[in-house]
A = this chain, B = another copy of it.
Amino acid sequence: MKRTAFFISDGTGITAEALGNSLLAQFADIVFERITLPYIDSIEKAHEVVTAVREAHIKDGTKPILIDTIVDENIRQLISQSEAIKIDIFSTFIKPLESELGIKSRYSVGQSHGIVESQRYKNRIESVNFALDNDDGMRTRHYDEADIILVGVSRCGKTPTCLYMALQFGVRAANYPLTEDDLESNGLPSCLKPYQNKLYGLTIDPFQLAAIRHERRANSRYASLTQCETEVVFGEQLFKSLKIPFINTTTFSIEEISTRIMADRGLKRRIN
């Protein structure tokens, strides 16, 4: 059983995708082909959507699902003429919100770039720069400014997690790799000692770690299972002995790792 799901927006389409994907995840037995159509901001483009929906209907032999966050009423109405299972986010929620709040919505597309917005934007860019500048223990002198410092062995997911926290939440995240030197000295690296309340450990299943490392440096000592096991065990012992909270990244998505760390450490989104 196959079905096409359209995520349609007059903006980026990211909200429609996020909501759409989380709804579709509830129907695991169906194979969905997902098509995102962003920037549908004219009657002409709306007509193209209607055509695409009709073609998918004919091709699949099943009614497509249409999840849209279109704000403009004319465009929305045109699209809603499609024969489809429709999830119309704005008409569902904006009207009740308007009557509850007692004011009209602006019915405008996307985000404005007022002063608040540009502050948020700047903050995210600065957070990305912070993550890049303070990646992989390259620099340790800016840890005063960090919101969080991730610690873990090479290739356990530190960098993507830091970058995600920066881009999505404007959080200043640094990361420091636990290396063989730390393993031999058998304690917390001295540059981390003043920041123990900002540390968060990442660990990973040694088999998965070995597989990841093999892709970078095939058949190296670095990628061997023995080496991976030794490092992972050392890391976890360090976290436990110093009561550093940690998370096993093996079965979590980057979103989950990031939001769990933030919840655990009480970190606030800086972009709201």
Q: State the A residues within 8 Å of B (CB).
A: 3, 11-15, 17-19, 21-23, 25-30, 34, 36, 38-39, 63, 65, 69, 71, 85, 87, 89, 92-94, 96-97, 100-101, 103, 105-108, 110-113, 117, 121, 124-125, 128, 132, 157, 159-160, 163-164, 167-168, 251-256, 258-260, 263, 269, 272
Does the CB pair B97–A27 fall under 8 Å?
yes
Does the CB pair A132–B159 fall under 8 Å?
yes
The interface centre, meaning the residue of A258, A260, A263 with most chain B CB atoms within 10 A of its CB, is A263
CA distance A99 to B142 in the complex (A): 55
CA distance A256 to B113 in the complex (A): 12
| Shortest distance between the CB of A248 and any CB in chain B (Å) | 12
CA distance A39 to B269 in the complex (A): 15
CA distance A157 to B69 in the complex (A): 27
Given contacts A22-B15, A106-B28, contact A125 B157 (CB under 8 A): yes
Does the CB pair B89–A19 fall under 8 Å?
yes
Picked from B21, B163, B258, B263, the residue with its CB within 8 Å of the CB of A163 is B163
Task: Collect the chain B residues with CB atoms within 8 Å of residue A108's CB.
Answer: 26
Closest 9 A/B residue pairs (Cβ): A26-B105, A34-B272, A12-B259, A18-B18, A15-B18, A85-B100, A12-B255, A15-B22, A128-B160
Does the CB pair B125–A160 fall under 8 Å?
yes
Chain A to chain B contacts (Cβ below 8 Å), 9 pairs: A23-B94, A26-B94, A30-B101, A36-B272, A85-B96, A121-B253, A121-B254, A124-B160, A132-B159
Given contacts A12-B259, A93-B23, contact A28 B253 (CB under 8 A): no
| Shortest distance between the CB of A113 and any CB in chain B (Å) | 5
Does the CB pair A103–B29 fall under 8 Å?
yes
| Shortest distance between the CB of A197 and any CB in chain B (Å) | 21
Task: Collect the chain B residues with CB atoms within 8 Å of residue A92's CB.
Answer: 92-93
In the complex, the chain B residue whose C-beta lies closest to that of A30 is B101
Given contacts A168-B14, A254-B124, A254-B167, contact A93 B87 (CB under 8 A): yes
Task: Collect the chain B residues with CB atoms within 8 Å of residue A13's CB.
Answer: 259
Task: Collect the chain B residues with CB atoms within 8 Å of residue A103's CB.
Answer: 27, 29-30
